[in-house]
Amino acid sequence: MQVRDKLYINGQWAAPRGSKSIDVIKASTEEVMGRVPEGTPDDVAAAVAAARAAFDAWAATPAAERAAFLQKIHEGLKARMEEIGKLIAGEVGMPVKLATLIQAGSPAATFGMYAKMLGGFAFEERVGNSLVLREPAGVVAAITPWNYPLHQIAAKVAPALAAGCTVVLKPSEVAPLNAFVLAEIIHAAGLPAGVFNLVTGYGPVVGEAMAAHPEVDMISFTGSTRAGKRVSELAAATVKRVALELGGKSAAVVLDDADLAAAVKGSINACFLNSGQTCSAHTRLLVPESKYDEAAKIAVEVAKGFSVGDPFGGAAKLGPLVSAAQRERVRGYIAKGVDSGAELLCGGADAPEGLPKGYYVKPTIFGRVKPDAAIAQEEIFGPVLSIITYKDEDEAVKIANNSPYGLGGGVWSKDEAHAQKVARRMRTGQVDINGGPFNLQAPFGGFKQSGNGRELGRFGLEEFLEYKSLQLKPEPKA
């Protein structure tokens, strides 16, 4: 068991101001796998004060030197990938091989990407008689979720540091242990004291103290839409910059000419990854009415291949959900789906056989789901797919856009130009064309209640920069 009894503040491991701690539960066994401090507003105040004191010097550090620090962090993460993969497999439940590749590999790649990017990024440009500067936003409070814990931390901390901002991080209390590994790596890299600070705790206490703190210049938050609204309310009092990456209910639109087998398989993969605990998961599969029977048959066959079991066992494709509360939430939605009259094609709310411990849920597919049903409108965050039929392309687009969210999506067609045409009509931040893979250099974020702002690539770096114009006196004409 990992016991972490200190926070990382001002370049050192510091005793928390409070005396309480938070147990971290292993998703596959329901046993305590670690313990972290339950931070307080006083801890937040100390961390923000350290970040504020460190800001001027860090902002003035040449980009090449900041890049060198990011490169050291990248190398430190790479060296500990296997350890991080196992840790997050325990915290979150993703099968360990996949967790090492995604949950550990992506954060390392993100720090490396920003280290390289700083070499060619233009922090100033001449526009007429103005010199336009890009300067760091200031002290950044980063609040991150549990589903891709270190990936989401890296997507905020790496560009914030690259921009010249200082950071106070609050990771999810459900999966916080990986953040302590990052803090160790940052400390070993020699980052100046106060530039990065780590405070663990609960959102209503630590998160709200960060969002309301007058010395915090910017909040970068990833989590539920409900919590994002609360962060925005608190930040508004001091007119902070706020970047939000929130929920999703993404639609995969299968056009009439698509390779149906490939489209259904690809969409289920995009729905079930991380046991459905992905904000951009393709949880609505839209198929032509004439193709429904065939699509439903293919979907059931594909779902059979998603074996559920121990993430450390080597064979399972789906591990458990992250917590008992999440398991009950997902089972509740499955029951709602049955009550709504949708066809339960496979899975269900009962527990998988042979798994008496762990937060496991059967991969579940519903057919002939009404577009306005709860399971088609609300984010479930579990391995649950809704198949919805449409009459024509216009109706497909209308159904896809009939959501309070707009984070991800997909379009499948043998004619890529046609697929792109449909994708352009979708009100969502990212659309996969025929299963196009995730790209760390492309902007990630959403429309509508999926949030505002973008992460990753140069777009993510720009989120942490302010514009300043120096109006220069024109040279006198000869």
Report, as residue numbers or ranges, the catalytic residues: 245, 279
- Write the secondary structure of 70-100 as one string of H (helix), E (strand) and C (coil): HHHHHHHHHHCHHHHHHHHHHHHCCCHHHHH
- Three-state secondary-structure class, residue 173: coil
* Cα-trace Rg, the chain: 23
E-assigned strand segments in 371-458: 384-390, 409-412, 432-433, 451-452
How is residue 344 written in tokens? 């339960």
Run of H or E residues at 3: strand 2-3
Q: How far is CA 204 from the centre of its chain?
A: 20
Rounded to whole angstroms, the Cα distance separating 73 from 217 reads: 24
Q: Which residues contact 288 (CB under 8 A, 6 or more apart)?
A: 254, 255, 256, 389, 390, 391
Residue in the structure block whose two tokens are 């594909």: 302
Residue in the structure block whose two tokens are 């920069």: 465
Q: Identify the sign of the CA torsion 91, 149, 8, 213.
A: negative
Question: Which among 385, 157, 140, 123 is positioned nearest to 272, based on CA atoms?
Answer: 385
What is the DSSP secondary structure assignment for residue 188, as one 8-state letter? H
Rounded to whole angstroms, the Cα distance separating 90 from 360 reads: 13
Q: Which residues contact 316 (CB under 8 A, 6 or more apart)?
A: 95, 307, 308, 309, 310
121, HSE (Cβ side, Cα atoms, 13 Å): 26
Rounded to whole angstroms, the Cα distance separating 267 from 290 reads: 19
How is residue 326 written in tokens? 């999440």
- Three-state secondary-structure class, residue 446: coil
Run of H or E residues at 264: helix 260-272
How is residue 466 written in tokens? 């302010």
Q: Under a CB-based contact definition with an 8 Å cutoff, are residues 239 and 209 in contact?
A: no
Rounded to 5 degrees, what angle do the CA atoms 83, 161, 55 make? 130
The dihedrals phi and psi of 235, each to the nearest 5 degrees, come to -70, -25
Q: Under a CB-based contact definition with an 8 Å cutoff, are residues 46 and 9 in contact?
A: yes
Polymer length of the chain: 478
